[in-house]
Amino acid sequence: MEEAVKTATPQAPAKGIQVTDKAIAKIRSAMEKEGISPEQGGLRLGVQGGGCSGLSYNIRFDTQPRERDRVFQFGDVRVFVDPKSFIYLHGMILDYQETLMQQGFVFVNPNSSKSCGCGSSFSA
């Protein structure tokens, strides 16, 4: 039973953030290229005012979590979310897609009531 707890899965608690295996692999390789240690740093997901639908997603690397962050662990990859952003991001799935036309992270957010064509902004 203890072994199952240590095994990395792409799922977080139902009310948390989920990250697909493709996104985890891309985050891991990008952190390596940026020289960010997985033991200390991670990917920061956030929401800020702006964008064509009212709110826009913010994604970047951070060297460490902040005091009030929620920290989600996916194997050796950590995802940091500040409390205000978590209101809009809980239940969200972060995916990574590569097509002939584009490549990048995709936010599948059940909290967004509408989103723009570019997929980087939404309204709740």
Answer whether residue 44 is part of any domain.
Answer: yes
Residue 83 lies in a domain: yes
Amino acid at 91: G
Dump pLDDT digits (tens) for 43-84: 999 998 876 667 888 999 999 999 999 999 999 999 999 999
pTM of the model: 0.77
**Structural domain of 97:** 7-111
What's the CA gap between 121 and 59, in Å, rounded? 12
Q: Domain for residue 61, yes or no?
A: yes
Domain contains 122 = no
Distance of CA 1 to the CA centre of its chain: 28
CATH assignment of the domain containing 88: 2.60.300.12
